[in-house]
Structure 1
């Protein structure tokens, strides 16, 4: 069964909400303290609270994460810059930042690697960019950090936008650095 773009976006919006709620409650994923759960231990109360907190998320990084998660399942396409026709790694990052923040980023991973502030792996926060050496040259691949050691990216020919664990040996060995883009950086008016 082939889903059209709006069906895929609806399906992934639900997945994005679930993951965003999970990231919100993961103390390692956010730089702010997670909210306190209500004293009432009923499942309904916790569910209602989680939904209410999800609606309250205004953190700019969460805008990036939710926008990126809405791209899950989009086909990889070399040079692709649109979810309608497919995205490559830098096309995904460029598209997500434009949609979430109105920020124009350069076209290639190596060009994007020169924008923003260089940060260490231990400083990563959701919305930061992670770079990898996948083509025997520095900064040949880029993804968006989601928190809890996970990042989202558009992998390669035949693949789809997906979430990966940075601690998998393949990615760990190829990690090339990270950057933090300010919400107003390269913004177009």
Structure 2
């Protein structure tokens, strides 16, 4: 059996869900994999509040086991801490390089994030460019906006308006699945 490691923050962990073990997007992807009769074990390494730097610090534990597919979803929490986009990129790149060094045949997927266009200055463009550049440089499958169709939709998020509810994760899983399916 092959391993798919979902490595991210609260959006990967399934923060706020009644049953994250069955309702988070890694769990829903696991259900799709099972329905197709594919032999993959889902590993959810999501940690609420994690940043790209925090992810880099905890990565070694998770890649000490075999990893066939690595799905990376980090970076949005860095902005709440006012981390520069260049630092976010450098941390995410270091994560990818470590994964490749440990597992040279790994297949990689990146869950991109976006900021609302109404934010002033160059931050929006700089942040958005992180994910495309990383995907292009390391030949990663890319979901350009992980929260596409869910962000800003009150009925698809829990009370905080930031984290998806079970229905929202269903939409996310349906958006992510075609990208991950190409790697399997």
By the TM > 0.5 criterion, same fold? Answer: no
Task: Please report the TM-score for the alignment, with normalisation by the length of structure 1.
Answer: 0.27
Task: Please report the TM-score for the alignment, with normalisation by the length of structure 2.
Answer: 0.27
Select the structure of larger CA radius of gyration: 1
